[in-house]
Chains A and B, each alone.
Chain A
Amino acid sequence: MLEAINLTKVYRNGVRALSGLSARVADGELYCLLGANGAGKTTTLSCFLDFTAASSGTVRVDGIDVAERPMDAKRRCAYVAETVAVYETLSAVENLRYFAQLCGVRLTGNAATHALDAAGLDGFQQSRPVRQYSKGMRQKLGIAIAISRGTGNLLLDEPTSGLDPTAARELMELLARLRDEGCAILMSTHDVFRAASYADRIGIMRGGVLVRELAPRACDRAAVESIYADCMAGSAA
């Protein structure tokens, strides 16, 4: 479970990235944060990952306060960046093993291969150096790294950005499966249609404020897009 309570973040240069954001992602829920660039989506994820300290408010992972016990909180959530950056000279298997080791997970035998298979990277690709990978393949590797940790919480920063439609759909299907297995997923995205198709709830952010929360299953995709456009225009109810 992921929880942000009255979260505010003001950067050292005075930029106010978040203003009193409160949101909660329950176990088995896929929550999409929508918003324009600079809306505060990435900052929200950064607070959960202790990349940056909140100026005020509380961030909790499975009830653990990130500010008080950052290591325990990190043990409970995995992260996939917009562009998965890993070690270019290492292969996917080597990268996966390394990042798993950092999280205290020892991938023995074929466990690494299986994790990569599950993320959609075939055997031939797994042993190639990552510098030869396309963006989609990198994204799959990022997902494999996140899944291999076996945490109950997943944070994704615009993971479908730059992916071809098939790859994006595969990724969303994978996330839906994880959600169904009980994982709490918080994902920032610009992709309104996929958010509307897969998310249990959508949070729309503007200027560091969560201006609207909606359950897309209660409305069709066109309605979600319309509400999003209204929110961006500043006329949301």
Chain B
Amino acid sequence: MIRHVAWRELLEHVRSARFVALCALTLLLLPLSAHVNATQYHARLAQAAALRSEQQRKIAEPVTESGVFKSMYGWRDGEVFADAALRAVRAPSRFAMLAIGSESTLPAYWQFSTEGMEPGPSASADAAVAGADRMDAVFIVETVLGLLALLLVFDAVSGERESGVLRLLLAAPVRRGDLLLGKALGAMLTLGVPLVLGFGVSLLVLEMHGVPLLRGQSLGRVVVLLAASALYLLNMVALGLAVSVATTRAKSSWVALLVVWIAMVLVIPRAADMVASTVHPVQPAFESRQAKIDAIRQIQGERARALSASWRRVSGADSAPTGYVSRALGDAYARAIEADEQRFIMRKRAAIRTADAERQRTTERRQSLARAIARLSAAASYSAVAANLAGTGDEAVRRWTEQVVAHQTRLENATFDRRFGMELFPAHLDFLRIIWWPDLRDARDRPPAYRDLPQFAYQEPSMSVVLRQSLLDLAVLAVGSTVWLAVALIAFQRAEVQ
């Protein structure tokens, strides 16, 4: 019985003007967005390649090159070297061509430095790669197909009640549940036409751009994205049916659903961010960076006094030596300051970590609250799943941050927090730093070359990890669909036919 109802619904829907108009719009927009996003992907790819090439050039420079090791040495006066060799360059996500997520706001690279890790400018800061931003397949499914889903079912019951068809339908020995499920299935089959066709043509466009997504892990992601799209559309269909059952006039159901659509697609996702930012304000990046530098400067001041006292003890003089410092004196000084150096390094690391961790915690709290509010909207849950699949969502940002912080620690151990050459802070010069650059001929004093440093390699999450991360949002979509369908079924069972 459900099959018969679904087939008739499909027949009627595909002949309707609303279906033809929105289907045509979808089939126009999906390939167009794929084309635009593929162009932007290539621009981002070129940008990442340029950053990598600059990095490789720098890494290939010999360690004896003047100043190369400066950026590898831990204590400076708060200045941060934006050393191109010490970056984690992010490759753009291929899947972002279908689901942009945060791709345009994610940094093009993260900069490692002695003052901690900092995100670089976003890829779209370059005007050449900024563009249609949110016009991706996910947005089109959310808005155009979401609207079509509501248009297909808003009058499924209220319209038939109004016209009188419902009396004839219910006079037949057909269970009301079957009738409603048939209508839901018919609407889903109808929506499947533009969804599958649109994605198919989009993937073809991407193939023509030389970015095939129908191979390897990408294929699995495309399948999951299609499944999530179907689940989102089922949510809209079920919601539409529930409202249609609850109202007596088709016009009333349409007005109610239009309000819900605007709230779901346009208002809730943005309002969630606004509320979360108000409840958990995150310190702006430049302020947090300045706070870190100020803390490091303060520790540096204390360190200068401690090292000055050590020099006085070892050399018996306040003033800086003139000319060559003997090996014996240098070694004695190094031994004398070793304990202090360790202590100050630990304090510096703690100051950086505390500032970073505090900002990270607030950011996560804000994201978590925003996600929780946004889950009121099926569209936001669907976007979150898509962004996760594309590796451009909150989870991807968290994963990148984790891996970049871990690499920063590796670099601190390998070079940033090691001591090369000699530093003095003579009290009579008001603790002005005097540096003896390391003796590059001496293996013990020679900083490592770039190529000897640990290299950053982003560990992509496996498909199972991505699915696990998307599970909650997928569950929200599934539960939402089930609840709305159940509401529609119960209300329809209890409804009296007037």
Q: Does A102 lie within 8 Å of B11, measured CB to CB?
A: no
Given contacts A52-B497, A79-B171, whether A86 and B165 have CB atoms under 8 Å apart is yes
Q: Once the chains bind, are B174 and A102 in contact (CB under 8 Å)?
A: yes
- B465 on the interface (CB 8 Å rule)? no
Interface check B1, CB cutoff 8 A: yes
- Asked if A85 meets B165 with Cβ closer than 8 Å, knowing A46-B497, A90-B12, A98-B8, the reply is yes
If A89-B15, A90-B11 touch, whether A49 touches B171 (CB-CB below 8 Å) is yes
Complex CA–CA separation, A77 to B170 (angstroms):
12
Cα distance, A89 to B11, chains bound together (Å): 9
Question: In the complex, what distance in Å separates the CA atom of A101 from the CA atom of B16?
Answer: 23
Confirm or deny: B200 has a beta carbon within 8 angstroms of a beta carbon on chain A: no
| Chain A, residue nearest B167 (CB) | A81
A109 CB-CB contact with B under 8 Å: no
Q: Are B12 and A104 in contact (CB under 8 A)?
A: no
Cα-based distance from A90 to B163 in the complex (angstroms): 15
Does B168 make an interface contact (CB < 8 A)?
A: yes
Tell me if B4 counts as interface (CB < 8 A to partner A): yes
> Judging by beta carbons under 8 Å apart, are A145 and B168 in contact?
yes
Any A CB within 8 A of the CB of B173: yes
Q: Mark B171-198, 1 if CB is under 8 A from A, else 0.
A: 1111100000000000000000000000
Chain A residue, CB-CB nearest to B4: A101
A164 to chain B, nearest CB (A): 21
Known: A74-B173, A75-B173, A98-B8. A86 touches B168 (CB 8 A): yes
Question: Which residues of chain B come closer than 8 Å to A77, judged between CB atoms?
Answer: 171
Q: Which of A50, A99, A101 contacts B168 (CB 8 A)?
A: A99
Chain A residues in 8 Å Cβ range of B497: 46, 49, 51-52
Distance between B246 CB and nearest chain A CB, rounded to angstroms? 15
Which residues of A sit under 8 angstroms from B170, Cβ to Cβ? Answer: 49-51
B442 at the interface (CB under 8 A from A): no
Q: A71-B173, A89-B16 are in contact. Are A102 and B1 (CB under 8 A)?
A: yes
Does any Cβ of A come within 8 Å of B496's Cβ?
Answer: yes
Please indicate which of the listed interface residues B163, B169, B172 has the most CB atoms of chain A within 10 Å of its own CB.
Answer: B172
Q: Does chain A have a CB within 8 A of B131?
A: no
Binary flags per residue of B292-303, CB closer than 8 Å to A gives 1, else 0: 000000000000
- A74: which of B11, B15, B172 is its contact (CB, 8 Å)? B172
Give the CA-CA distance A87 to B15 in the complex, in Å: 12
**A51 CA to B1 CA, complexed, in Å:** 19
B164 contacts partner chain A, Cβ-Cβ < 8 Å: yes
Task: Give the chain B neighbours of A172 by CB distance below 8 A.
Answer: none
For A, the interface residue count at a CB cutoff of 8 angstroms equals: 33
Per a CB cutoff under 8 Å, which of B167, B173, B174 touches A51? B167
Contacts of A49 in B (CB 8 A): 167, 170-171, 497
Does A161 reach chain B (CB closer than 8 Å)? no
Interface centre among A85, A86, A103, A104 (most CB of B within 10 A): A85
A46 to B497, CA, bound (A): 8
CB distance from A155 to the nearest CB of B (A): 8
Contact: A79 with B4, CB < 8 Å?
Answer: no
Do residues B16 and A104 form an inter-chain contact, with CB atoms below 8 A? no
B5: A residues at CB distance < 8 A: 102
- Contact A87 B8, CB 8 Å, known A52-B496, A81-B167: yes
Answer whether residue A107 sits at the interface, using C-beta atoms and an 8 A cutoff: no
Could you tell me the distance between the alpha carbons of A189 and B240 in the complex, rounded to whole angstroms?
A: 37
User: Contact: A99 with B496, CB < 8 Å?
Assistant: no
B173 touches A85 (CB 8 A): no
With both chains docked as a complex, state the minimum distance between the C-beta of B250 and any C-beta of chain A, in angstroms.
Answer: 13
Cα of A84 to Cα of B165 in the assembled complex, Å = 8
Interface pair A84/B171, CB less than 8 Å apart: no
Residue of A nearest to B1 (CB): A102
Contact of B12 among A53, A72, A89 (CB under 8 A): A89
CB proximity of B248 to chain A, nearest CB, Å: 13
Q: Which residues from chain B contact A98 at a C-beta distance below 8 Å?
A: 4, 8
A19 at the interface (CB under 8 A from B): no
CB within 8 Å of A: which B318-377 residues: none
Contact A85 B171 (CB under 8 A): no
Known: A51-B497, A89-B15, A89-B16. A102 touches B167 (CB 8 A): no
Residues of B within 8 A of A72 (CB): 173
Q: How far is the CB of A37 from chain B (nearest CB, A)?
A: 14
Chain B residues with Cβ under 8 A from A86's Cβ?
165, 168
Q: Contact at A74–B171, with CB atoms within 8 Å?
A: yes
From the candidates B160, B165, B167, B174, name the one contacting A79 in the complex (CB within 8 A). B167
| Cβ distance B316 to chain A, nearest Cβ, rounded Å | 103
Asked if A22 is at the interface of the complex by the 8 Å CB criterion, the answer is no
- Among B443-498, those with CB < 8 Å from A are 496-497
Report the separation of the CA atoms of residues A136 and B5 in the bound assembly, to the nearest whole angstrom.
27
Q: Which B residues from 1 to 40 make CB contacts under 8 A with A?
A: 1, 4-5, 8, 11-12, 15-16
B168–A103 touching, CB < 8 Å: no
> Which B residues are in CB contact (< 8 Å) with A104?
173
Q: Contact string, A1-39, partner B, CB cutoff 8 A, digits 1/0? A: 000000000011000000000000000000000000000
Interface residues in A133-152 (C-beta closer than 8 Å to B): 142, 145
User: In the complex, A89 Cα to B17 Cα: how many Å?
Assistant: 11
* A52-B496, A90-B11, A101-B4 given; A85·B163 CB < 8 A: yes
Give CA–CA (A94, B16) in the complex, Å.
Answer: 16
CA distance A182 to B346 in the complex (A): 101
Task: Give Cα A46 to B164, complex, Å.
Answer: 13
B256 → A minimal CB distance (Å) = 22
16 contacts between A and B (CB under 8 A): A49-B171, A49-B497, A51-B170, A51-B171, A53-B496, A72-B173, A74-B172, A74-B173, A81-B168, A85-B167, A86-B165, A90-B11, A99-B172, A102-B5, A145-B168, A155-B171
Residues of chain A whose beta carbon lies under 8 Å from any beta carbon of chain B: 11-12, 46, 49-53, 71-72, 74-75, 77-79, 81, 83-87, 89-90, 94, 98-99, 101-104, 142, 145, 155
Considering the complex of A and B, which 9 residue pairs feature the smallest CB-CB distances, nearest first?
A85-B164, A51-B497, A79-B171, A74-B173, A102-B172, A75-B173, A101-B4, A52-B496, A85-B165
19 extra interchain contacts, Cβ-Cβ under 8 A, other than A79-B171, A102-B172?
A11-B496, A46-B497, A50-B170, A51-B167, A74-B172, A74-B173, A78-B171, A79-B168, A83-B164, A85-B164, A85-B165, A85-B167, A85-B168, A86-B165, A94-B11, A102-B1, A102-B169, A104-B173, A145-B168
